[in-house]
Amino acid sequence: MNGSLAFQTLFAKSNLRQLAAPMLIVMILSMMVLPLPPFMLDLFFTFNIALSIMVLLVAMYTMRALEFSAFPTVLLVTTLLRLSLNVASTRVVLLQGHTGPDAAGKVIEAFGHFLVGGNYAVGLVVFIILVVINFVVITKGAGRIAEVSARFTLDAMPGKQMAIDADLNAGLIGEDEARKRRLNVAQEADFFGSMDGASKFVRGDAVAGILILFINIVGGLVVGILQHDMGFAQAAKNYTLLTIGDGLVAQIPALIISTAAGLVVSRVATDEDIGQQFVGQIFGKPMVMLLTAAILGVLGLIPGMPNLVFLLLAAVLAWLGWWTLKRQLQPAAPEAAPVAAAAPAESLEASWTDVAPVDVLGLEVGYRLIPLVDRAQDGDLLKRIRGLRKKFAQEVGFLSAPVHIRDNLELKPNAYRITLKGVEVGSGETYPGMHLAINPGRVAGTLAGTPTKDPAFGLPAIWIDSNLREQANVLGYTVVDAGTVVATHLNHVIISHAAELLGRQETQSLLDHIGQESPKLIEDLVPKQVSLSVVQRVLQNLLEENVNIRDMRTIIETLAEHAPRSQDPLELTTQVRIALGRAIVQQLFPGGAELQVMALEPGLERLLAQAVQSGGNASAIEPGLADTLLRETAAAAQRHEELGLPAVLLVPGQLRWLLSRFLRRAVAQLRVIANAEVPDSRTIRVTTIIGAKS
């Protein structure tokens, strides 16, 4: 018994909301078929008015259009409700209209007598005016706005998706946040597309209201005169007043719903609702109110004008403008001046506390960029930097040093500088309140703004005003705000200098972290078989060539296997790269793609091998040969980049380290891998042979 009761309670709670909408639709449709008594008509007409007022208030208090994403459906349901009530009331009016003005209920009687004074001519004019206001003014304007918004929202979708991908790749957001933003973009497009179609419901409702009015008047005259033997004047009075009351009780809620639709599609999304925007932007400028008061005052002094009304309103506006101006000019409460410390009698001796350590990573900003990094001013750059460090740790394999942020008055107001161990490694300028439109190489037009370059990757870009953001997205630009520019540049610097960020302390912390899961593995390796400095050097060698160190278990096991035979970091790095070969190749050629690589001509390989045996470094290569090697490799890498392929050079193992160090400075995008690093399961296709005679 208790189990059955619990099941029924759970069913009622979980399905009550699910059943509400179908029951409402069924009830609305049933009103078109089933006769309703006058009391039920009063109840449903009152419910219709209350529902329209609730929809209007919800539309006014929403911050963004998506907060009322159900509005297109609500528009359809309310329209259907009004039409069903028109059908139900028409049935009652035609059947019982001869009995008196209250035949269709008290609500219709009140709208037919109280609002228009019982004069059906006045009621007819009022009804037509309401329909014109609803149909010609509000509905037409809201429909046009919805149509344009839907078009621009759909056109801007690719740019918004690119911006989300750019934030994700820069580490500013995670996968969950990116998925949420993509969903919001899709929902926004669906919403404005639905609003474009839903606005036709209101237009059709207005047309139906006019037709229903004239059909009811004609039908009422026919029924009253032919079936109930009423005079023409009496039949016209009874049925016309009932019909006009019916029309007004339906058109007023329709006008309210149309106004709500216009508010939803015409507002600009901010952190304020419509009431706050209205008061803040219209009554927030005292000079506007003072000038308006002066104009009204002059008009109020003209003979023949309603002087009292003009002067009274001018006085109210003048007082409101003066009060607002006084509040804006009121100085902020002065901060308590700090008590000056007594000057020391004599200078203190220098101590070790005067020696300030150099920050591993630093970010210095000009004074106009302080709001970006000030928590008290809602600067979100600090949160983004924390996200960058977290993403770096997940992708590269260790936790970098924290970023120390300070202001620097020696910099330009909008400039920033990124330092690594006290040395500048990156700088740029960014403008809060503006957006940087980056040209990825396939834009469809130009923008008005200040030309510049993306400080992280050197791509052509333009600083634009915020109101051009949507236009830039439509043209194919990648648009980011000022904080994102700094965060992306910082992320690029951190990744580019990952090897330098891996100090001895970070290496020890990394080993301690691995030791929590595999303590015996770490104890047997460090310091029994290999020193901490050798492990650090091996990891730095990997990071210098963009090989992440997430697979520390494989790295430690490989070092433990080969450390007894060699303590040379280069030799150990070579063995670790072979062990990580599958991951290295997977990073360059995702999935099971064929390895399309460059290779050396066999004769050139022999010459380079002799250079390695004789000197072991790049200086042993003959200058003419070195120049030719650099030129041909750079040209081949450029061709690969143009084809969308990674620039990868496949060489014998004994040449890999030499060529990687030699070519990396001239061809930054080049990756050099050894034959032994390629898994046996992958297929290799040589696309370019460097050194081949043409």
C-beta separation of 213 from 244 below 8 A: yes
What's the CA gap between 114 and 221, in Å, rounded?
A: 23
**Residues contacting 337, CB < 8 A, separation 6+:** none
Look at residue 638 and tell me whether its pLDDT is greater than 60: yes
- State the pLDDT at residue 216: 76
Q: Hey, is 407 helix, strand or coil?
A: strand
Architecture of domain 502-579: Orthogonal Bundle (1.10)
Q: Which residues of 491-525 are buried (b: 16+ CB within 10 A; e: fewer)?
A: bbbbbebbbebbeeebbeebbeebbeeeeebbeeb
Q: Residue 225: how many CB atoms within 10 A of its CB?
A: 16
Please write the tens of the pLDDT for every residue from 172-201: 677 778 888 888 877 777 777 777 777 777
Strand order in the sheet with 434-438: 450-453, 460-465, 434-438, 478-481
Higher pLDDT, 413 or 215: 413
**Residues contacting 84, CB < 8 A, separation 6+:** 28, 29, 31, 32
Please write the tens of the pLDDT for every residue from 558-578: 999 999 898 999 999 999 999
- Please, what CATH class does the domain formed by 590-694 belong to? alpha beta
Higher pLDDT, 438 or 16: 438
- State the pLDDT at residue 527: 80
Look at residue 1 and tell me whether its pLDDT is greater than 60: no
What's the CA gap between 420 and 433, in Å, rounded?
A: 28
Please write the tens of the pLDDT for every residue from 79-119: 888 888 878 877 777 777 666 666 666 777 777 666 666 66
Architecture of domain 356-498: 3-Layer(aba) Sandwich (3.40)
Average pLDDT over the chain, rounded to an integer = 80
Task: Dump the DSSP string for 352-400.
Answer: GGG-PPPPSEEEEE-GGGHHHH-GGGT--HHHHHHHHHHHHHHHHSSPP
Look at residue 437 and tell me whether its pLDDT is greater than 90: yes
Please write the tens of the pLDDT for every residue from 579-595: 999 999 998 888 877 89
Closest CA to 31 of 41, 42, 46: 41
Look at residue 338 and tell me whether its pLDDT is greater than 50: no
Identify any residues that bridge with 478 across adjacent strands, giving them in sequence order. Answer: 438
Name the percent of the chain lying above pLDDT 90.
21
Confidence band, pLDDT 50/70/90 cuts, at residue 304: confident
Confidence band, pLDDT 50/70/90 cuts, at residue 362: very high
Token duo for residue 541? 């060698």
Q: Which residue is associated with the tokens 């006085």?
A: 315
- State the pLDDT at residue 264: 77
Look at residue 608 and tell me whether its pLDDT is greater than 80: yes
Confidence band, pLDDT 50/70/90 cuts, at residue 219: confident
Please write the tens of the pLDDT for every residue from 509-567: 999 888 888 888 888 788 888 998 999 999 999 999 999 999 999 999 999 999 989 89
pTM: 0.55
Average pLDDT, integer, range 407-434:
91
What's the CA gap between 47 and 644, in Å, rounded?
A: 63
Handedness of CA 260, 265, 266, 269 (dihedral sign): positive
φ and ψ at 217, to 5 degrees? -65, -50
Confidence band, pLDDT 50/70/90 cuts, at residue 11: very low
- Of the ranges 297-301, 384-388, 403-407, which one carries the lowest mean pLDDT score? 297-301
Closest CA to 77 of 35, 20, 33: 20
Look at residue 13 and tell me whether its pLDDT is greater than 80: no
φ and ψ at 690, to 5 degrees? -85, 130
Range among 215-219, 280-284, 561-565 with highest mean pLDDT value: 561-565
